[in-house]
A and B are shown apart, each in its own frame.
Chain A
Amino acid sequence: MIPLSHFLFISACLFCIGLYAVLTKRNAIQVLIGIEFMINAAVLNFVAFGRFDANGGGGQMFALFAIVLAAAGVAVALAIILNVYKHFKTIDPVKTDTLKD
C-alpha cells in the first residue's frame, strides 16, 4: 500500500510546479495550465485525505466539486483571453499593459 506521505509529496510538487508556471510563463493559456496544476494538487490532497474522513466521502465529494468548478473557471478565462487576443493580437500578460499607475 502506498503511504499517505507519498501522495502529499506529489501534490506539493504539483502545486509548486503550477505556481512556478503561473509566475514565469508569458502566455495567458500557459498560466491557466499552471492554475490547473495547482487545483489538481489540491484535488489529489482531498482524495488522499478522504480515506481518513470521520464521516466518509467528504474529500471525494469536494474533489468532484473542485474539478467541475475548475472547468467552469477555465471556460470563463478562455473566453476572456479570446477577447484580449481580438484587441491586442497577443495574449502575453506582460505586453497587455494599458492600465497602470
Chain B
Amino acid sequence: MNDLIPLISSSINDTLASLSHFYAEIILAAGFLLVILADLFLSRRFTQLCFLISLSTLLLLGVQSVILLNTKTVFLFGGMLKLDHTSILFKLLFCFSSLLFAIFIRYNSPLQKHVKGTGDLFAILLATLLGMNLLAMSMNLLMVYISIEMVSLGSYLMVSYISADKAQTESAMKYALFGAVCSAIMLYGISLLYGFTGTLNFNDPAFINALKNVSGLSSGVAISLVFIGVAFKLSIAPLHFWAPDVYEGAPTPVTAFLSTAPKIAGFAILIGLLPVFQSEGGQTNTQYFDFNVILAVLATASMLIGNFTAIWQNNVKRMLAYSSIGHTGFMLMALFAFQGSGFQALIFYMAVYIVMNMAAFLIVDEIEEQTGILLIDEYKGMGKSNAMLMTTFVIVLVSLTGLPPTVGFTAKFLVFSSAFEAYRNTDSAVILIMIITAAISTLVSLFYYFKIPLNAFLRNSQIQVMAPGNSPKAYLGLLLAILLLVLIVFPSVIVKLI
C-alpha cells in the first residue's frame, strides 16, 4: 500500500488537468441537475422551464463542441477517455439528435398532457446524452460498460415513460429484458478479455499483443460475446428483433430518438473497439475467427432482413423500424474502408440519417395527432387533405431511398464508393456480395417507401379526413426536408466539419 502513496499527487494533478478538457460533460451534468431541481420546485409556475433549460444546455454543448472540433488528441483521467476529432464529431451528432428530440417532446401532445409532466424526460435525455458522450470517448472497458449501461437505462426509461397502454408497457419490458441479457453477455465477454490481457485499457498496445497470443478460439469467443452487446445497441441482424416491437410501442418522439442517437453511439463504440475485434489479423490462428467476414455477413443479413421485411409492414412506425435496420447494415459497409474514405462517408451518412429519420417520425407523429392514422392503408386521400405534410413526407422518403435531388443520394453514393474502395483493396468476395446486396436492397426499399405517396396521392378514400391546422412540429419537419434538398447542392457544409 505504501508504495502507492507517491502516486497520489501525480494522479490528482492528472485529474485536474483533465477537467479542463471535460467542459462538455460538466455542462451536461450541470444541466441535468438544473432540470431536476427546476422540475421539483418550479414546474408548477413555469411549465416549459425544463424544456428551456435542456434546450440551452444542448445549444451550449453544440457550440462548445464546434469550437473544440479541431483539437489535438488528448487522453483524460489516466487513459480512461480519449478526446479527439472523431469523438467530437460523434458528440456533435448526438447533440444534434438530442436537440431535435427535445423540440419533438415539446410539441408532442401525449407527452405534454401526461400527468407526470415532461421534466423527468428531459432529465433522462441529458443523462443519456452524457452516457453517449462518454461512450464516444471511452478507451477503457470499464468506461465502455458504464456508459453503455447509462445509455441503456435511459432508453428503457424513455420507452416506458408514459406506459399508457398495453403496447407501450410490453415494448418497454421486451426492451429492458433483452437489453439486460445482452449487456450481461457483454460483461462476461469483457471479463474474459480482461483475463486474457490483464488490463482494461484497450488502447494499450499490450492489450492487443496479449490478445494475439491467446488461441484464436478463446479470443474469438470473448470478442463475439463483447460484440453481442454492441450489436444489440446497433440492432443489426441476429439481434434486431427487439427493434420493430420497441419502435412500434414507444411514444413516437422516443422512437425517433432511439433510431438515431443510441444507434450512432453503437457505431462510436464499434469504431473504438474495432482494433480489438480485428486483432486476429496477421496471426497463425486466423482460420478460427475473421471479424471482417463476420461483420460483412451481418451487414448483408441486416440489409436483406430489414428491407425485405419492411415490404410487408402496414404500420408506419414498424416499417420505419425495419428500414432503419436496413440503414444500419448499409452504414456498416463504410467500416470496411475505414482508414480511407470510409470514415468521412460514415459520418456524412449518419448526419443525413439523423435529419431524414427525425423528419420522417416528426411527420408520422403529426399525422397521427391530427387524424389518428398510423396504418399505411389508411393514408388514402391524405395528399389532398393535407398537401404540405404529405409533400414533406415524400421528400423525406425520396431521401431515405437515396435518390436525387436529395442529400440521401450523396450519402448513399459516398458509402458505395468507399465500399468499392474496400473491395479493390482486399478483393474479398464477401465484400462484393455485400455491395451487390446493398444495391438490390436499395431497389427493394423503393417499394415500401413509395407505398405511402401511392396511397396518399393516387388513391381516394370514401372517408374524407379533415385535417386541422399544422403544429410547429410539421414546420420543423418541413425545415428538415428543405435541408435535405439544400444539402445536395452544398454537401460541403457537413464535409468541411469532417
Chain A residues near B (Cβ < 8 Å)? 8, 11, 15, 18-19, 22, 28, 31-32, 35, 38-39, 41-43, 45-46, 48-49, 52-55, 58-59, 61-62, 65-66, 69, 72-73, 76-77, 79-81, 83-84, 86-88, 93, 96-101
- Nearest Cβ distance between residue A14 and chain B, in whole angstroms? 10
CB pairs A–B below 8 angstroms (8 shown): A38-B185, A39-B184, A42-B188, A45-B191, A46-B194, A77-B176, A83-B169, A101-B312
Give the chain B neighbours of A62 by CB distance below 8 A. 141-142, 145, 190-191, 194, 200
Q: How far is the CA of A11 from the CA of B244 in the complex (A)?
A: 34
In the complex the two chains form, is A73's CB within 8 Å of B194's CB? no
Instruction: Scan residues 144-197 of chain B and give those whose CB is less than 8 A from a CB of chain A.
Output: 145-146, 149, 152-153, 156-157, 160, 163, 165-167, 169-174, 176-177, 180-181, 183-185, 187-188, 190-192, 194-195
Q: How far is the CA of A38 from the CA of B176 in the complex (A)?
A: 15
- Nearest Cβ distance between residue B160 and chain A, in whole angstroms? 5
Q: Which residue of A lies closest to B141 (CB)?
A: A62
Question: Residue A72 contacts which of B153, B173, B184, B245 (CB distance < 8 angstroms)?
Answer: B153
Give the chain A neighbours of B146 by CB distance below 8 A. 65, 69
In the complex the two chains form, is A32's CB within 8 Å of B149's CB? no
Give the chain A neighbours of B165 by CB distance below 8 A. 87
Give the chain B neighbours of A18 by CB distance below 8 A. 184
In the complex the two chains form, is B191's CB within 8 Å of A42's CB? yes
B249 within 8 A of A: yes
B199 within 8 A of A: yes
B248 within 8 A of A: yes
Give the chain A neighbours of B192 by CB distance below 8 A. 45
9 closest A-B pairs by beta carbon, nearest first, are A45-B191, A38-B184, A49-B195, A42-B187, A99-B245, A42-B188, A42-B191, A83-B163, A83-B169
Q: How far is the CA of A99 from the CA of B276 in the complex (A)?
A: 37
In the complex the two chains form, is B198's CB within 8 Å of A87's CB? no
Q: Which residue of B lies closest to A97 (CB)?
A: B170
A38, A42, A45, A100 pick with most chain B CB within 10 angstroms: A42
In the complex the two chains form, is B198's CB within 8 Å of A35's CB? no
Question: Residue A83 contacts which of B172, B248, B309 (CB distance < 8 angstroms)?
Answer: B172
Q: Which residue of B lies closest to A99 (CB)?
A: B245
Give the chain A neighbours of B194 by CB distance below 8 A. 45-46, 49, 58-59, 62
- Nearest Cβ distance between residue A72 and chain B, in whole angstroms? 6
Q: Which residue of A lies closest to B154 (CB)?
A: A76
Q: How far is the CA of A55 from the CA of B143 in the complex (A)?
A: 17
- Nearest Cβ distance between residue A2 and chain B, in whole angstroms? 16
Binary contact readout B195-239 vs A (1 if CB under 8 angstroms, 0 otherwise) = 100111000001000000000000000000000000000000000
Chain B residues near A (Cβ < 8 Å)? 141-142, 145-146, 149, 152-153, 156-157, 160, 163, 165-167, 169-174, 176-177, 180-181, 183-185, 187-188, 190-192, 194-195, 198-200, 206, 244-245, 248-249, 309, 312-313, 318
In the complex the two chains form, is B173's CB within 8 Å of A54's CB? no
In the complex the two chains form, is A73's CB within 8 Å of B191's CB? no
Give the chain A neighbours of B160 by CB distance below 8 A. 79-80, 83
In the complex the two chains form, is B163's CB within 8 Å of A99's CB? no
In the complex the two chains form, is B188's CB within 8 Å of A76's CB? no
- Nearest Cβ distance between residue A90 and chain B, in whole angstroms? 11
Give the chain B neighbours of A19 by CB distance below 8 A. 185
Q: How far is the CA of A17 from the CA of B483 in the complex (A)?
A: 52
In the complex the two chains form, is B199's CB within 8 Å of A54's CB? yes
Give the chain B neighbours of A76 by CB distance below 8 A. 153, 156-157, 176
In addition to A45-B188, A49-B198, A98-B170, 17 A-B residue pairs with Cβ atoms within 8 Å of each other are A22-B181, A28-B173, A31-B181, A39-B184, A48-B195, A62-B190, A69-B145, A69-B146, A72-B149, A77-B173, A79-B160, A87-B170, A97-B170, A98-B166, A99-B170, A99-B248, A99-B249
In the complex the two chains form, is B170's CB within 8 Å of A58's CB? no
In the complex the two chains form, is A84's CB within 8 Å of B180's CB? no
In the complex the two chains form, is A93's CB within 8 Å of B166's CB? no
Q: How far is the CA of A37 from the CA of B47 in the complex (A)?
A: 44
In the complex the two chains form, is B173's CB within 8 Å of A46's CB? no
- Nearest Cβ distance between residue B219 and chain A, in whole angstroms? 15
Q: How far is the CA of A81 from the CA of B160 in the complex (A)?
A: 10
